[in-house]
Amino acid sequence: MTQTDTAVRLDAITKRFPGVVANDDVDLAVERGSVHALLGENGAGKTTLMNVLYGLYQPDGGRVVVDGQPREFDSPRDAIDAGVGMIHQHFMLVDTMTVAENIALGNEPRKWGGLAVDSEATRREVVELSDRYGFGVDPDQTVADASVGVQQRVEILKALYRGADVLILDEPTAVLTPQEVEDLFDVLEELTDQGKTVIFITHKLGEAMHAADDVTVLRDGKNVATVDAADTTREELAELMVGREVVLEVESRATDVGDVVLDVDSLSVLDDREVPAVTDVSFAVREGEVFGIAGVDGNGQAELVEAITGLRDPETGDVAFDGRSVTDDSRRERIEDGMAYIPEDRQERGLVMDFDLVENAILGSQHSPSFSSRGTIDWQQSREHADAVVDEYDVRPGNPDARAVSLSGGNQQKFIVGREFERDPRLVVATHPTRGVDIGSQEFIHDRLLELRDEGRGVLLVSSKLDEVQGLSDRLAVMHDGDLMAVVDPDDITEEELGLLMAGEYPEGYEPRDERDAMEVPQ
């Protein structure tokens, strides 16, 4: 790659935070007019490296070169002025404003000697820009009414409007349906065809191989390899990410199912704004099966799970556990009955961040005879339990006296998973159980979920990762706008059909059955 072919070069970038070297002497070269994937697990240093390129962080060592010129970015404004734009995972749009107003915000054309915004000129410029790249956005649509995929295009157009030649996308597919992911990849191809350069951060192997020309893998803050996406495999990339061979495919299916362990009947739930989040949902989970719920985040999954686990009161309907209604039971009572729960938000729902791991290991079970007697906690027994969880689930650092706040997000997740699995539950409600953990730990957690299923436990799995929820589930429900669109056999549905259901559309020829009939498990 010659100097003129290189849009971005990072030379020996080092970035430190207290106690952590996030980027350790990282080199990166990105070819002009290409899509370059930055692949790695959470904590590998991907976002930190791109935040250095975007001027959000200043490096402790090394050099940033853009278009052959060494640069020192003191702020994102400096990066934008140099033609570098960044689209963050969480969009930064004003919901009440139109698409055109959001795109031009802060850079609007003026009229009357600069005294007023020229709205017509703004609209014309946005339409021209959208047409140039084939984005097809409606400049007059209010952002609040736009789909997530359209909002992402608006963010990209914002960067292009400001003159970006290099676009950084941080986990751009995290909240998209499969169809929206394909649309995004088409957008990236159009951008590079017109000379733009794209760097996208991801931890998804398939996306890196499908959308990128080149893939750079970071592990523990270091660049371990840059490979041609066309000349590698998912297995090779996984091994680079983790440092060892990893089994990626999960194809085991349950052969025997038992009695219903969880029965959700006509459940409706309000969100924190007192707005309906779940509407008349019914399903059953049996012993010896994984019942999966797929869907784009924010379609009622969180409120549904909170009602099942005792963290939120339902508006109507009933939750039965082992044949007994627990709708009015507390979370503690449900734990004592054998309902384990891996929460979506590990820090808010799963841990007390200022507690050490010994204290966190017995959360919810501190009144159990296993850990207390006559109101006094047996701290020796509690410590042995924490040691076992830390050791079995490879939680780092392996110090039970460490406070939860001192652990990385991935290690916090592994600790919660270990604690919940070790409760010897009758039912595990697992919400995004592998979010933020490395591929090796994902493999371990998946194996443990299947072991629990094979031991006759029930598993309710909620995940936005299609490969995870489709690969692990024996039956799969798809949730959209607070309702279950369908319950399907994961082996008999395509990713495209799943994507349509996740977007609220039924595939051609599909006829939804009566909801309770659809829940029945063949005997």
Whether residues 471 and 332 fall in one domain: yes
**Residue 250: its pLDDT value, please?**
63
**Residue 249: its pLDDT value, please?**
64
In a domain, 208, yes or no: yes
pLDDT bracket for residue 512 (50, 70, 90) = low
Whether residues 78 and 164 fall in one domain: yes
Whether residues 78 and 124 fall in one domain: yes
In a domain, 29, yes or no: yes
Q: What is the pLDDT of residues 477-511, one digit of tens each?
A: 999 999 999 999 998 888 888 888 988 888 887 76
Number of structural domains in the chain: 2
| CATH number of the domain within which 266 lies | 3.40.50.300
In a domain, 215, yes or no: yes
Q: What is the pLDDT of residues 107-153, one digit of tens each?
A: 777 777 666 777 888 888 899 988 888 888 899 999 988 888 888 88
**Residue 415: its pLDDT value, please?**
93
Q: Are strands 197-202 and 110-111 parallel, antiparallel or unpaired?
A: unpaired
In a domain, 311, yes or no: yes
Whether residues 227 and 314 fall in one domain: no
Among the candidates 190, 216, 242, a domain finishes at: 242
Q: What would the mean pLDDT of 307-330 be, rounded to a whole number?
A: 96
Whether residues 185 and 104 fall in one domain: yes
**Residue 519: its pLDDT value, please?**
43
Q: What angle do CA 370, 356, 424 make, to 5 degrees?
A: 35
In a domain, 496, yes or no: yes
**Residue 4: its pLDDT value, please?**
54
Whether residues 37 and 129 fall in one domain: yes
In a domain, 186, yes or no: yes
3-state secondary structure 378-417: CHHHHHHHHHHHHHHCCCCCCCCCCEHHHCCHHHHHHHHH
Residue 493: domain span: 260-338+425-519
Q: What is the pLDDT of residues 351-382, one digit of tens each?
A: 999 999 999 999 988 888 888 888 899 999 99
pTM of the model: 0.72
Whether residues 227 and 272 fall in one domain: no
Among the candidates 208, 242, 276, a domain finishes at: 242
Whether residues 500 and 431 fall in one domain: yes
Whether residues 149 and 296 fall in one domain: no
Among the candidates 242, 271, 306, a domain finishes at: 242
pLDDT bracket for residue 318 (50, 70, 90) = very high
